[in-house]
Amino acid sequence: MTLIKSINSSIKSIFKSEPLLEKYKQISIRNYLLVGGYAEYEIFFYPCKWWDKHNGGNFFGELYCLVPEVQKILYDTDQSLAKLDYTKPISYYQYRTDSKKKIDSAWKITSLDEIDHFKSEVRDWLINIGLKWFDNFTDFQSVVDYLAERESYCRLAELLAKSDRKMEAINYLYLYLRTLPRMIEKQLNLLCECALIGIEDKNYLYKASIQSEDQYKKRLDYWIQNSLKIN
């Protein structure tokens, strides 16, 4: 059996033998999906682009999660990991993009002698890390907590504003701006579309963002103080 086929077989056997993974449906050679409940969860394995059919290389595990409620709130349209419509916008969460520990989902495998060890490590990663990462998306508040922990304040402000939770959205807007972000024209346009800031606010904040750090902070503090009086 070739190295890649042995890897494929090992991954498949993990999903068949582990009770916590049995409910995932195999939708391609190394792609497994769970649809149902609050969110959709996808597990995907793939070799690096330098993979050699004889000498192997690095192999990666990836996790995706799509929350239909969040998708609908942000874009007012449906999407599904089971059948993505690339003509429509999509909101999803991705482990190797979001995680600070990308190394834990990467394995180097160069021979058939390493298959058993690879299989054991993949099983441990799925059970002890992968499925626990999916626990971040069990309800709307868990998504909010996840984004807050990652300091995705601008995204949170947008999500909460579109969920009619304006005061919470404003708090995250302030947290986002206090990081003194640069090159924020796109984000300011988004916040303006959410009615969290007006056109004049957008122009003021953009001009502040291209000043020196001291001037940026001074102008931002002034804007926030005046904004607090209004809100």
DSSP state of 52: B
pTM for this predicted structure: 0.89
Res 13 pLDDT > 80: yes
From residue 43, alpha-carbon distances to 31, 94, 99, 154, 217 in Å are 6, 10, 15, 27, 43
> Domain coordinates of the chain in residue numbers?
3-137, 164-230
Tens of pLDDT along 22-71?
Answer: 999 999 999 999 997 899 999 999 999 999 989 999 999 999 999 999 99
pLDDT for 226 = 87
* Neighbour-count burial for 81-120, b at 16+ CB within 10 Å, e otherwise: beeeeeeeeebbbebbebeeeeebbebebeeeebbeebbe
The burial of 61, by beta-carbon neighbours within 10 Å (0-12 exposed, 13-18 middle, 19 or more buried), is given as buried
Tens of pLDDT along 130-152?
Answer: 999 999 999 999 999 999 999 99
pLDDT average, residue stretch 209-219: 96
The amino acid at residue 60 is F
pLDDT for 140 = 96
pLDDT for 97 = 82
